[in-house]
Structure 1
């Protein structure tokens, strides 16, 4: 597999250095470069299709964090690796919240840079070993927070909802009061984050599958 990269950094000397470091990597090629976040977004909108984006954080016109937010929304399949001289916690957290899959400092060597690229392209997260916090654990915690936990009863009721049963029909089938079913329905809608039955159906199809 040839890994196609777009690099965004406002220092051409640094971009040239990365290109030189990666020149001997036969499975990696740099297909474009940008000097700020806006140029990076314009490259994607013009039809460039990288397998990974490597971007600095502090850049003129548009910084890497702002660009990452936009790219994560408009091009969610393209992973982003932050490569910067800044290792403060606030910068790392902001970049991760924006959607970056990895964060490494400009102190890394060729071996770690290529490790980070391959890890992120394969769907993993990667963080510099010299960062002050275990961000891998933080990412895992964030993913756990986003898991929606439905109770056994809620799953049972959801199954009947997507089959088209009314609240009264569900109450009769489960031998529960209509008030109880209404309460469960409200809790399910709140957990899933939708107000419509169609939203519940879409959630069930995408997330629960055969577990219903």
Structure 2
């Protein structure tokens, strides 16, 4: 993100909002941070400050019903980068958020350093999903890993994945191994089933 950009933090809990403000100022140079504590004021801020580039959005703010707020914001601001930071940390809701236009999801329980890296990756064009559900590891797939996962869901072999992604079969094998490791899966089928439950196959089986 270029210097001098504007970021809006929409979060109704003051302490968490202040923490996100500090995090963004550490992550980005010469950034102007605005903040709101409810959905109506978030819409007003977006309307009045036209050049906001990044929105950190808590889905469960006062004045917003379920995911309608996210849907409305995406419709009004199609180029705005939206990162949902929420306690709604389960697969079905995360999948809906991404489907409605969020560029990423980060669980509120995520550590500071992981959150900074995730936001940085999202600003660089990746779709990032980080969930810290009890008893599970972080769910964080890069663009390459996500493309590989989609190929696995289609039942493609390493050779076919290589052809699809324009890489060598050896590199395809490495990508597949990295996906299995990230999802803590023993085989391809287990990886695909787990990814479906977690909402990671966002454009598959729709």
Q: Pick the TM interval, shorter chain.
A: 0.5 to 0.7
User: Which consecutive unaligned segments of at least 5 residues does structure 2 have?
Assistant: 151-206
Please give the per-residue CA displacement for 1:46-99, whole angstroms capped at 9, x wherever unaligned: 124222111111111115722221121111110110111221122212211211
Equivalent residue for 2:88, pick from 86, 89, 106: 86
Q: Does 1:104 align with 2:95?
A: no
Equivalences for 1:58-207 in 2 at 5 Å?
A: 58-63=60-65, 65-128=67-130, 130=132, 137=146
Could you say which structure has the higher helix fraction? 1
SS in 1 for 2:9: strand
The TM-score normalised by the length of structure 2 is 0.59
Aligned-residue offset at 1:20: 2.8
SS in 1 for 2:83: strand
Q: CA–CA distance in 2 between the matches of 1:4 and 1:64?
A: 26
Q: CA–CA distance in 2 between the matches of 1:87 and 1:61?
A: 21
Structure 1 stretch 37-46 or stretch 59-68: which is displaced more? Answer: 59-68
SS in 1 for 2:21: helix
Q: Does 1:29 align with 2:35?
A: no
Distance change in 2, residues 1:43/1:135 (3 Å): same
Q: Is the 8 A contact 2:85 2:107 kept in 1?
A: yes
Match of 1:18 in 2: 20
Match of 1:55 in 2: 57
Aligned-residue offset at 1:135: 7.9
Q: Is the 8 A contact 2:89 2:107 kept in 1?
A: yes
SS in 2 for 1:92: helix
Greater Rg over alpha carbons, structure? 1
User: Which consecutive unaligned segments of at least 5 residues does structure 1 have?
Assistant: 142-212
Please give the per-residue CA displacement for 1:136-194, whole angstroms capped at 9, x wherever unaligned: 549x85xxxxxxxxxxxxxxxxxxxxxxxxxxxxxxxxxxxxxxxxxxxxxxxxxxxxx
Q: How many residues align?
A: 142
- Larger relative contact order, structure 1 or 2 (CA cutoff 8 Å, min sep 6): 2
Q: Is the 8 A contact 2:90 2:131 kept in 1?
A: no
SS in 2 for 1:107: coil
Q: Does 1:39 align with 2:45?
A: no
Q: CA–CA distance in 2 between the matches of 1:64 and 1:32?
A: 23
